[in-house]
Structure formats: structure tokens, C-alpha cells
Structure 1
Amino acid sequence: MDGVHRAGIPGVYAEVRDTGRVWRGASGVADVRTGRPVSPDMRQRVGSITKTFTAAAVMQQVEQGRIRLDAPIGDYLPRLVPGERGKKITVRMLLNHTSGIPDYIPYAFPSLQGFPSAPDVSPKSLDDNRFRQFRPAELIALGLTAPPTGEPGGPTGVYSNTNYQLLGQLLKHVTGTTAEEYITRNVIERAGLRHTGFPAGPRIEGPHSLMYEGLWGLIDPPRDYSVYTMSWVGPGAALVSTMEDLNRFYGKLLDGEIVNRSSLAQMQRTVPVRALDGTTIDYGLGLHKVDVPGCGTFWGHDGSAWGAGTMSLTRADGKRQMSVAINLARWNERDSSGKPQHHPIDDALSTLYRQAMCGNGDAQAASAAQVPAFGP
């Protein structure tokens, strides 16, 4: 962790569990101006890790017979997804990103269209949207009116936050309460998480770090975006949590305590999905599968919000867990073609992940390429 800090991350903190033993640590600062240190118990915007919570909530409703995984979304939300699209796209396709519906984020943040490679990308939209209250239907419409990324149910999915906005509206439709309220009562509280929740406003309650966004060198020095209204992601990426809570959640999920074993098996049926950084990942229903040679198969998710990155992975046998948080995002500067360049932070994080997942003895066996990059 000291190596990650030395490479350029202001602050990094983590919790690793191994067969009942727990290690927590931190390195660096939560505020570069005051030098206030980070600590392992700090709260973090965990970005798309929220998707696992939302997927678990949907699967609970599948267990109760209120949602059918392979039913068309148009059966439930005909006004939001009308016509042929509503008939072809199923709930499962939304969960595993094979719907063909593109991500709305480039359209909600117009100065980021084509990011990071477009020459005229700018941070203007980040500031314009800091206190903007988006409506879910508005974001969904942006995704549905953009050019499709493929046919529904195609062999390779494309990661899209629009899918999880729709799942949030599906949960609201079948439960009669907001997705955030349902997830809080039936996923967060069921898992016994004490420091996890959807923020009530733009500020994080409790001890937390500032969150520094670099936007591939466009914001230099990186700017704090810890105060931000998260209506732009909602049930797709708005949660605040701690590393202890994330390990507890994934441990209970993979042990069949949040959804039943049949639902968990469905969540672990993966397809290839093209992630936001262009890499292809094995993606189930709100879960990443990460095979680490010499260490085993891990399940979990990564997440990014403006200025924050989080990774949480649990080995299939539940005995080894890693949750890591950093307070700088998109640190890679771009070359003349707009391509993000390799940075020493990338190598330092890979070393940390290998050690956290595999232990000292097996660290060299793990391949850095197998670990997903942070993404919203």
C-alpha cells in the first residue's frame, strides 16, 4: 500500500480477510492540503459495486415470483421501453449487459462524449452536474435514443449504466417502493452492514476522504469531487460503504445468505462483456468473475465515482477476501491520439491486488491483466 501511495495515489486503504483472520491498513492522506491521513474504516463512494446490491434485490423478487428473469422488460415497464425493444430485451439481459442499450453517461455529461480519446473532452460537465438532480426516466431516455450497441441477447454484452437505471425502475414497479429503499431494507440490513447506504444528498456522512479526479490529465492538479449529487447513477453506482462492509456483504452473498443458492447460481452464469475501458470481462448478473492463476477464482465488482475507485473480490470458497479503496481516479495522462498512457500507479495497484488476493507466497503467480480496472 505504501508503494501505491508513493506511485501517486494520495490515499489508499483496505481490508483483507483470510480464513477468519482480518487485516486492515491504510497509507497516505485523505486531504492533500492538510495532510489528514486516511484510515481503514473510512467511507467511500463505491461506484458500480452498487450493481451487485441491485442485482441481489432483483433476484430476491425473482425468488418471490414477482419478476421473471427471462420475461421481456416491456411486460413490466411498457412506457419506459416501448415497442419491439420492450418485447426483445429481458430482465436477464439488463442484469448481464446484453440488452444492446448504450450507456447514457456520455449524453448526460456532453463534454465527455468520446472520452477519453476525443480531442475536445473537457471537465465542464463534471462541474455542471455537481448538484443537478437527474430523473431516472430522463437518463433512461438518453440511453434508449442513442444508437444501440448490438442486438438484444447478443453473444457479447456492452457495459451500460442504463440497464441498471431500468432495473431500479423495475424494482420500484414490483415492490411499490424506491429501489434505494428496498435495497436498504432487504439487502443492506439483511447483510448486517452498519456503514453502507445511499446518500441523502451531495455529501458523505461520517469519516471519509476527499476524492480527487484527474480526468486523464485534463484536471491538473486533480480536483476534489467528494461533494456530488449521485442522482446521475442511482441504483447503478450511488452507494457509500466501507471496506469492512463490502467484505461482509460479498461473504454473505456468496454463502447464500442474501439470495438463495439457485439465485446465486444464476448470478454466476457469465457472458463476455466489453467494459467501459474497452477490455472484455466475464460478467454474470451483477457479478464479475476474475480467474487468478495460482490463486483461484474470485467474484465481486469494481467501481468508480468521480475521484474514487474501489475493488472488492472474494474467492469462490469464501476464505480469501480483498476490498481496496483509493481517492484518485483517471490518473493516466493521454498521448497525442487521446490514448491513456501507462502509469506507475497501474503497476503498484497490480502488485497490491496480487498480494491481497494471493498472499506473499503466491503473489507472483497472479496475472495483473486478470484484474479489472475501475469503472463506474
Structure 2
Amino acid sequence: MRNPLDPAELNAAMENVHRAGMPGLFAEIRDGDQVWRGAAGVADVATGRRVTADMRHRVGSITKTFTAAAVLRQIESGQIGLDVPIGRYLPQLVPGERGDAITVRMLINHTSGLAEYLPYAYPSLKAFPALADTGPQSLDDNRLTRFHPTELIEMGVSAPAVGAPGGTPGVYSNTNYLLLGELLEKVTGTAAERCITRNVIERAGLRDTELPAGPYVNGPHSQIYEAWFGMIDPPRDYSVYDMSWVGPAASLISTVTDLNRFFGMLLAGEIVSPSSLAQMQRTVPVISQEGRTIDYGLGLHPMEVPGRGTFWGHGGTVWGAGALAMTSADGKRQLAVAVNLQRWNRLDPSGRPRPHPIDDALAGLYRVAMC
């Protein structure tokens, strides 16, 4: 009988990504009780230090699934209403008619119509993420900047709306999840990071996952390299970076093992109730930050895999780091992959990313990992 986790095949797929230009990557793949962990490449291009599969890593917007789960647990306890207007909880942050029209659900599934604050916090990025008139200067200017979430929220709320509340397709916006962080603090009386840690991270028994306020990654980790579409050449290390610019939207640190444990428990109904999980899996069309239309639920999105059906999970990027975690609907097959280079594609004259060998190599790895 064929091994569902062929080590030679998985190692070859990982090495292909490294040879295509990724400095380092690591992964954990699960199939039932079988587990494979692997790594390829380097954690530090200057010293040649190797990556290992147990490294802690910034996982970007995978944080949103944790934040959504924390909100749903408060909904289950009656502290928050899923379809209650956000203005009832945070009238000073989303005032007037918009506060009355935008519900908690619309924040979680990105149909609020609230704009992304990022181009306003990082002026040189302008029309983030992929227009030719952007530049990387703001990344260095804000390396150790401490933002207050309400400062960023005000930027997003005061910017021109990107849609009507509840309209589809929605538009992916970190403003929504910073508001959810403020909502958690309002109803629990504790910082959002502490609420998410207590109600989600600790509930799942995750030993190497944390929602940090500071700029450092504790424990064994890789350097992380940002290329900003070829405008930073060679790519620059951003492993030390104050993560208050994304907070409960994208600042989580985790490991591939913890990510698989979390998503396995979530899809088994062990983090939120089965009825809450069903709400998380109700999707609407949303335009991603890359300009693609995706199906998006409450902090989860599906991926159809030929021969294996539907996988659920989330991906994420921050400056220099990326990750993807997906679990099959039946919970049997799981993938968690972390990479230490971002925005490797150069841009064409219209501002669109050009194809890069890393793209095909990653797609090949995902096929092997999920099929």
C-alpha cells in the first residue's frame, strides 16, 4: 500500500521550493495518525544556519482565525451578538449610520465596506500591495514604531468606503480585525491579546504560540526576508519588527505543529461549538489583498483540492514571513507550511506581479502535501 506521506516525495517538493529561490521553508504534514515534518534551506543567509521544522514563525493573517474564534466564544457566552451593529459596542470608533449598519459578522467576513488602513500608516506603500508606484521606505521607517489600534482604525474608518455594509463581494481589510480586537477588550475588560490567549491559544494547548506586543520572536526562529517586488535587492531581514501595526489581525507567532493542532481541533468543534463552526464555514465572495476573489467565512476560507475535496484554513504574510495552514473537511489530512521570504515577484509595467519559479514550486508542494 502506498504511503500517504511519502518522505522522498515531500522532501523533493520542499527542495524544489528552495532551489526556486526561497531561502528557507519548513512544514508539517499529517494524514490520520501519521506525521511528517521537514525543512529545506537556510534560516540565515549570512551564516548559512539551517531552518528546522520546529522553528517559531510569524504567521501573519492566520491570526484572524484565532481572533474570530475568540469573538465566537464570546458570542456563545452571550457577551456579543453576531448580527448586532458594531456601533452598539464601539460608537466612538464607528459612529453614526455606519456604526448602525455594520454588524459584527460583517467585520469578521470582510463585508463591512471599511477600507484598509495600511496605505495610510505606510504612506510609501500607497495602493498596497502591487502597484508600480509603491516603495519600501515606510517598512524601515516604521520598524520600531508603536501604533495604537484606535489610531489605525481611525485611518481605515475615515478613508473612503470600499463598499456598502453587507454588500458583496466584500473587500479584505485589516481594519475589521483591529475593531474586533477592540470589541473583545470592551466586553471582557482585558486586552484582546490576553483574551485570545486565554480563550483560544491556551484552550487548544498550544505551547509555542503567542500573540506578542513587542518586536522580537522568542525562541528558535528564522530570519525573515522582504523583497518588496524586487525593490529591496537583496531582500532585507525584518525579523525584528514591532507588530502593533497589525495586532490581532496578523501578529501571531506559532509553529507548524501548533497550527495543525489548532485547525484540527477547530474543525472538530473543540475550540468553538459545532454551531459556531458552521457559521465560520458560511462563505461570501471577498476580494483579497492580491486582487483575487475568494470565498471567505468567519476567519476561515475553503480550498478545493482535486481528489481530496474541501480543505479549510487560512494563509498569512507579514514583512518577510509567510505561512499557510489547511485541514481537510474530515480532519484527516493537514498541511502547515512556513516560508522566510515574501513578495519575491517583480512587477510588470502595469504593476502586476510577474510569474516566478517559486510560485510553481510552492503550488507543487501544496499538491503533494494535500493529495
TM-score range, shorter chain: over 0.9
Aligned length: 358
Equivalent of 1:78 in 91, 97, 100: 91
CA contact (8 A) 1:72 1:89 kept: yes
Q: Distance in 1 between matches of 2:130 and 2:341?
A: 20
Q: How many Å apart are 1:115 and its aligned residue?
A: 3.3
Partner of 1:174: 187
Partner of 2:319: 306
Equivalent of 2:127 in 100, 111, 114: 114
SS of the aligned residue for 2:185 comes to helix
Partner of 2:286: 273
Partner of 2:260: 247
Instruction: Kindly report which structure 2 residues correspond to 1:356-375, keeping only aligned pairs within 5 A, or say none.
Output: 356-358=369-371
CA contact (8 A) 1:116 1:340 kept: no
CA contact (8 A) 1:303 1:309 kept: yes
SS of the aligned residue for 1:101 comes to coil
Tell me the amino acid that sits aligned with residue 326 of structure 2: L
Is residue 232 of structure 2 the alignment partner of residue 203 of structure 1?
Answer: no
Q: Distance in 1 between matches of 2:355 and 2:181?
A: 36
Q: How many Å apart are 1:120 and its aligned residue?
A: 3.1
CA contact (8 A) 1:320 1:357 kept: yes
Q: Distance in 2 between matches of 1:226 and 1:130?
A: 10
For residues 164-210 of structure 1, give each alpha carbon's deviation from its aligned partner in whole angstroms, at most 9, with x where no partner exists: 00000000000000110011111000000000001241110000000
SS of the aligned residue for 1:323 comes to strand
Q: Distance in 1 between matches of 2:49 and 2:169?
A: 45
Q: Distance in 1 between matches of 2:167 and 2:107?
A: 12
Structure 2 gap segments, 5+ residues each: 1-13
Q: Distance in 1 between matches of 2:55 and 2:19?
A: 20
Q: How many Å apart are 1:306 and its aligned residue?
A: 0.3
CA contact (8 A) 1:41 1:244 kept: yes
Q: Distance in 2 between matches of 1:92 and 1:200?
A: 26
Sequence identity (%): 68
CA contact (8 A) 2:132 2:347 kept: no
RMSD: 0.8
CA contact (8 A) 1:117 1:337 kept: no
Partner of 1:15: 28
Q: How many Å apart are 1:117 and its aligned residue?
A: 4.5
C-alpha distance 117-307 of structure 1, shift in aligned 2 (>3 A):
closer
SS of the aligned residue for 1:150 comes to coil
For residues 20-70 of structure 1, give each alpha carbon's deviation from its aligned partner in whole angstroms, at most 9, with x where no partner exists: 100000000000110000000001100000000000000000000110000
Instruction: Kindly report which structure 2 residues correspond to 1:282-361, keeping only aligned pairs within 5 A, or say none.
Output: 282-358=295-371
Q: How many Å apart are 1:75 and its aligned residue?
A: 0.6
Partner of 1:366: none
For residues 261-294 of structure 1, give each alpha carbon's deviation from its aligned partner in whole angstroms, at most 9, with x where no partner exists: 0100001100010000001111000001111122
Tell me the amino acid that sits aligned with residue 314 of structure 1: T
Q: Distance in 1 between matches of 2:168 and 2:208?
A: 38
CA contact (8 A) 2:213 2:247 kept: no
Equivalent of 1:87 in 100, 103, 107: 100
SS of the aligned residue for 1:77 comes to coil
Tell me the amino acid that sits aligned with residue 141 of structure 1: E
Q: Distance in 2 between matches of 1:90 and 1:116?
A: 27
Tell me the amino acid that sits aligned with residue 267 of structure 1: M
Partner of 1:103: 116
Structure 1 gap segments, 5+ residues each: 359-376
Moved more, 198-207 or 182-191: 198-207
CA contact (8 A) 1:116 1:338 kept: no
CA contact (8 A) 2:54 2:255 kept: yes
Tell me the amino acid that sits aligned with residue 350 of structure 2: S
Is residue 232 of structure 2 the alignment partner of residue 219 of structure 1?
Answer: yes
CA contact (8 A) 2:61 2:315 kept: yes
Moved more, 117-126 or 227-236: 117-126
Partner of 1:48: 61
Q: How many Å apart are 1:102 and its aligned residue?
A: 0.8
Is residue 241 of structure 2 the alignment partner of residue 228 of structure 1?
Answer: yes
For residues 211-260 of structure 1, give each alpha carbon's deviation from its aligned partner in whole angstroms, at most 9, with x where no partner exists: 00000000000000000000000000000000000000000011111100
Is residue 258 of structure 2 the alignment partner of residue 258 of structure 1?
Answer: no
Q: How many Å apart are 1:119 and its aligned residue?
A: 3.7
Tell me the amino acid that sits aligned with residue 90 of structure 1: T
Equivalent of 1:5 in 18, 24, 36: 18
Q: Distance in 2 between matches of 1:135 and 1:331?
A: 30
SS of the aligned residue for 2:124 comes to helix
SS of the aligned residue for 1:282 comes to strand
CA contact (8 A) 1:116 1:216 kept: no
C-alpha distance 116-139 of structure 1, shift in aligned 2 (>3 A):
closer
Q: How many Å apart are 1:136 and its aligned residue?
A: 0.7
Moved more, 288-297 or 40-49: 288-297
Q: Distance in 2 between matches of 1:120 and 1:69?
A: 39
Q: Name the TM-score, length of structure 2 as normaliser.
A: 0.95
Q: Distance in 1 between matches of 2:250 and 2:130?
A: 24
